[in-house]
Amino acid sequence: VGDYEFFNKPFGLLHWMEHGDHMGVDPDTNQVFRHDTIIILLDPDQMLMRPITGTFQSSNTIFRGGPKDMGYNIDTERTYKENESSFIVRHGRPLSQEFGFGDSWLKFAEVAGKDSPATKVTPTEARRSYSVDPPYIATALDMHAIAQKWVEFVPLVHSLFPELMAEMYAFSIASAHLELPHQLVGSLMISDTNTDSGEGWKLIDDLPANNICNFAMNKMGDDSHTKLPSLLHFCQRYGVGDRAFFAKKKLPTDFFSCESPLIEEPSMDIGSGKYLYRKPPFLDTTVTYSATIEKREAFVICSMTGFLNQAALFFKRKHCGGSKINVKQEISMHDLPE
């Protein structure tokens, strides 16, 4: 198949659905036994902040859609196909977070065959129903059908487009080939702090700025009432001021060990509007911010510091036995080598 590391998403999903605990396929029908179960596929660099279910209400969810004669998506309180204020994931109607590649996957749709329904999708419909990113949410019946085609199509897409997102394009093609349009949502995930539509940053922007770091690092797990996106996709580099910084690839590989220290906490006033800049590590430059961007960057840094330190403490208490547990907050993400 090849050594593209993200082949593990389609192949891993299919293997788990067919061979995982409590899963499996009926040999007579080639359908999964638990076909009504809701399957949610995340990326490994996505952190849960709120539960995800198969039911979505406009009071907590930003649907993406708009008038059918418009070629782009807008925030809306109504679903695209049914024009309803709620959406339930069911057979034939999956739901996913919107992603910004639009209709660019269409150029590879013929991997599904020249007569495939995927080749007949219009650019508008490609953006409205198939421009998707994890979390992918579908019934097990639909997700298994998608996974089978995803595994078939992804090597073909990668041979034509040997770059990042090949597996995402293949997922869109598989869904379109099976005529399984997704309801797109713009509030399930946050990632790029410079994005104003298609991600759930409005929910973060509405939080008080003067307490954003303390809330993200220490209070978020105990507060089930504040509206937040379900996921933090920490795939960017984030920084505030001179030293507050987070980048996933800089985390030491032995972080989850008895001996490793924890991450040092940032100043609690980042995100308050006091630091309208960042100084990236090892670069003699300064990036200026608006107060909104500073607040968003601070939310991610403080969230990830809290998440990782809590996870590390859980690991140490469960697995370190009588050995001395290192709980010193000494890891400076800013100073770690690239």
Longest dimension (CA), the chain: 66
Instruction: Phi first, then psi: give them for residue 26, nearest 5 degrees.
Output: -75, 115
DSSP states along 157-204:
HHHH--STTHHHHHHHHHHHHTT-PPEEESSSEE--TT--SSSSHHHH
- Judging by beta carbons within 10 Å of its beta carbon (0-12, 13-18, 19+), is residue 57 exposed, middle or buried? exposed
Token duo for residue 3: 């050594």
Paired with 38 in beta bridges are 139
Is the predicted pLDDT of residue 70 greater than 70, yes or no?
no
**The residue type at 96:** S
Please tell me whether the overall predicted TM-score, pTM, comes out greater than 0.85 for this model. Answer: yes
Is the predicted pLDDT of residue 67 greater than 70, yes or no?
no
The whole-number pLDDT of residue 194 equals: 95
Tell me the pLDDT tens digit for each residue of 209-265: 999 999 999 988 777 778 899 999 999 999 999 999 999 999 999 999 999 999 999
**Residue in 201, 152, 144 with CA at minimum distance from that of residue 14:** 144
Token duo for residue 206: 């509405």
* Between residues 224 and 51, the one the model is more confident about: 51
Strands 277-278 and 287-288: antiparallel
Give the Cα separation of 296 and 178 in Å (integer). Answer: 38
Report cis status (omega within 30 of 0) of the bond before 123.
no
Q: How far is CA 276 from the centre of its chain?
A: 27
Number of other CB atoms surrounding residue 284 within 10 Å: 6
Number of other CB atoms surrounding residue 167 within 10 Å: 21
**Could you give the 3-state DSSP secondary structure of residue 80?**
coil
Token duo for residue 118: 């995927």
**The residue type at 262:** L
Is the predicted pLDDT of residue 200 greater than 80, yes or no?
yes
Strands 183-185 and 95-98: parallel
**The residue type at 316:** K
Q: Tell me, what DSSP letter sits at residue 264?
A: P
Tell me the pLDDT tens digit for each residue of 12-31: 999 999 999 989 999 898 88
* Rama region for 330: left / alpha / beta (φ>0; ψ in -120 to 50; rest): alpha
